[in-house]
Amino acid sequence: MFKADEKDVRVGGQAVIEGVMMRAPKSMAIAVRRPNGEIFVKEDRWRSLSERWSFLRWPFIRGSLVLVEALINGMQALTFSANQALEEEEETLGRWALFFTILLALGAGIVLFVVLPHVISGLVGRLFGVRLGVEHFLFHVIDGVIKILIFVAYVWLISLSKEIRRIFEYHGAEHKSVYAYEAGEALTVENARRFSTLHPRCGTAFILVVLLISIFFFATVFPFIPTIGGSSGVVNQIFAIVLKILFMFPIAGMAYEMIRYSGRNMERGVIRWAVLPGLWMQKLTTREPSDEQLEVALAALDSALQTHGRAGGNMG
């Protein structure tokens, strides 16, 4: 049914409400299963900022750009998929409504994954009679472990929702489709069905790598940062939290390079072992999809590749 015409194009995607978004270097396509059973595909030419400023393609810089653009693409895809899902109810989500929803979600994420672990790490030290500041390596180990525990608990809790489980099924369909494409297979449901739902370049694996890198990055950098009002002062703790948020961009750049390298060197034994934790984490965020969900993911992938080709793209 579908055929991949450009085997060297790097593609990736994201599960959305009743659908999948797929990105190629010069295109983005969103396929959604409407309430009436029809697959509706929206395709667009995508122009990354790196096309205008070449330095944004430099290693360790491009990762931060990819993160920001992925958030933008994700917001666009969720808006589109939500409006398609609400079609029968004659409702749509306005741009401002979705913007404030995303803003609230980002704020909650910062509180949950940055502020809360930071505060708890200091309290753990006091519990054992040790004053732990951000200049201590142990502080950042505790902080990183707490972040991972919160992330796992958060994903497990939301997976109890029927709606979220369906999104996780589409996430599995996205991975199977990308695997089929990367293997040079024709993009058919029969071919995609044979592949795993776990992919080394998944965003879940990316998050885990970011958390692990942050432990060593913060432990290395914070001892050299002057304190404000004492290492345990409220002002200094707020300053440290703000720095952690800002440092996520260079950390994302490092994580991106590691994920990119591992994806290209999976045949090496050491790399295969190194990516296992990221694959295990994906058991929380992916589910085995139905053939109907695979059909949606393949439609998005095929459209993204076709649009990329028309835009004159080749290597990803």
pLDDT beyond 80 at 312: no
Q: Which residue has the higher pLDDT, 42 or 109?
A: 42
Rounded CA gap, 284 and 279, in Å? 10
Percent of the chain with pLDDT over 90: 43
Task: Write down the pLDDT at residue 93.
Answer: 54
pLDDT beyond 90 at 87: no
Residue 181 near residue 187, CB atoms below 8 Å: yes
The pLDDT-based confidence of 96 (bands split at 50, 70, 90) is low
pLDDT beyond 60 at 315: no
The pLDDT-based confidence of 230 (bands split at 50, 70, 90) is low
Residue 24 backbone dihedrals phi, psi, to 5 degrees: -115, 170
Rounded CA gap, 110 and 119, in Å? 13
Rounded CA gap, 307 and 45, in Å? 7
Task: Write down the pLDDT at residue 50.
Answer: 82
29-33, 94-98, 173-177, 257-261 — which is least confidently predicted?
Answer: 94-98
Report the predicted TM-score, pTM, of the whole model to 2 decimal places.
Answer: 0.85
The pLDDT-based confidence of 86 (bands split at 50, 70, 90) is low
Find the Cα–Cα–Cα–Cα dihedral 309, 314, 315, 316, rounded to 10°.
-30
CA distances from 197 to 13, 68, 228, 279, 280 (A): 13, 25, 47, 9, 11
Task: Write down the pLDDT at residue 150.
Answer: 93
107-111, 128-132, 145-149, 172-176 — which is least confidently predicted?
Answer: 128-132
